[in-house]
């Protein structure tokens, strides 16, 4: 077991192997990120069915989208703290689990309150992915090669919107919406499986380098002390 682990470590410390696998990690984190907007924008294609099912007025129907964004707003700073505490892989896995859990709660919701709560869970997962993905990419690509992968990843929201807007009508007949929720849940679940199987840490930072980093609390305090922030 120890030999295999050491061999794997040496493999990923090799420059060419590391550079090649960096694109695999980019693909994995991109798919994981796309799962978030897929779930965020699954509402508009089936909005008439949701209004009919839950007896919503236009204000409550709008909350199905705004509650998602509100959760993201509230989780922006805490997501950074979670990332510093759990690390990249556990944070991404937690984010995807939140999205899947929220989508499942929404699938079986019988009241407006339940489906709104499900949107909060999904929104929290999305902001955690948005905070973590650039860190994952930065760990695998050096600064001089980071522009292209960051540019590719920046298409995560638009890709998710295009996917769900075009696939939802294929699975949800007029007047129905649950099929779209299952579709979005399945996509997030597959993204979670791919991430668990294929994501690897770059083994870039040494323990002594990590010890030199100031506590996250001090960094947070310094950031808030900046007037523009």
**What confidence score (pLDDT) does residue 34 get?**
97
- Are the beta carbons of 75 and 127 closer than 8 angstroms? yes
Domains by residue range for the chain, with CATH: 25-225 (1.20.1250.20)
- Are the beta carbons of 158 and 140 closer than 8 angstroms? no
- Residue 153 and residue 179: Cα distance in Å, rounded? 28
Q: What's the Cα-to-Cα distance from 39 to each of 85, 126, 161, 225, rounded to whole Å?
A: 26, 9, 9, 36
**Mean per-residue pLDDT for 53-60?**
90
pTM: 0.81
**CA-CA-CA-CA dihedral for 48, 54, 57, 62, to nearest 10:** -70
**What confidence score (pLDDT) does residue 207 get?**
37
Decide if pLDDT at 16 tops 50. Answer: yes
**What confidence score (pLDDT) does residue 80 get?**
74
Q: Provide the percentage of residues in the chain whose pLDDT is more than 90.
A: 59
Task: Look up residue 140 and give its two tokens.
Answer: 């695998």
Contacts 24+ apart (CB under 8 A), 97-105: 97/125, 97/192, 98/122, 98/124, 98/125, 98/128, 99/35, 99/36, 99/39, 99/125, 99/126, 99/188, 100/185, 100/188, 100/189, 100/192, 102/39, 103/39, 103/181, 103/184, 103/185, 103/188, 104/185
Helix (H) or strand (E) holding 216: helix 216-225
- Residue 119 and residue 153: Cα distance in Å, rounded? 24
How high is the mean pLDDT of the chain?
84
Question: 214: pLDDT confidence band, cut at 50, 70 and 90?
Answer: low
**What confidence score (pLDDT) does residue 215 get?**
60
* Residue owning tokens 């990332």: 83
Question: 69: pLDDT confidence band, cut at 50, 70 and 90?
Answer: confident
- Determine how many CB atoms are found less than 10 A away from the CB of residue 144: 6
Higher pLDDT, 73 or 114: 114
**What confidence score (pLDDT) does residue 216 get?**
56
Q: What is the pLDDT of residues 76-104, one digit of tens each?
A: 777 777 787 888 899 999 999 999 999 99
- Residue 159 and residue 126: Cα distance in Å, rounded? 14
Question: 201: pLDDT confidence band, cut at 50, 70 and 90?
Answer: confident
């Amino acid at each position: 077991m120890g030999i295999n682990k050491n061999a794997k470590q040496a493999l990923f410390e090799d420059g060419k192997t590391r550079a090649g696998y960096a694109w695999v990690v980019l693909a994995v984190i991109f798919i994981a990120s796309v799962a978030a907007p897929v779930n965020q924008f699954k509402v508009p294609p089936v909005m008439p069915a949701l209004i009919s099912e839950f007896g919503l007025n236009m204000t409550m129907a709008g909350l199905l989208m705004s509650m998602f964004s509100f959760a993201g707003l509230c989780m922006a700073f805490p997501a950074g703290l979670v990332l510093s505490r759990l690390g990249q892989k556990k944070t991404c896995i937690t984010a995807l689990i939140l999205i899947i859990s929220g989508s499942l709660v929404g699938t079986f919701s019988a009241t407006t309150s339940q489906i709104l709560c499900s949107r909060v869970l999904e929104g929290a997962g999305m902001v955690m992915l948005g905070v973590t993905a650039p860190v994952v990419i930065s760990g695998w690509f050096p600064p001089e090669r980071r522009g292209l992968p960051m540019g590719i990843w920046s298409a995560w929201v638009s890709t998710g919107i295009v996917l769900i807007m075009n696939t939802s009508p294929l699975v949800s007949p007029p007047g129905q919406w649950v099929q779209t929720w299952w579709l979005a849940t399945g996509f997030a679940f597959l993204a979670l499986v791919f991430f668990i199987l294929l994501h690897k840490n770059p083994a870039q930072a040494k323990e002594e380098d990590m010890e030199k980093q100031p506590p996250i609390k001090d960094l947070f305090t310094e950031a808030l002390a900046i007037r523009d922030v």
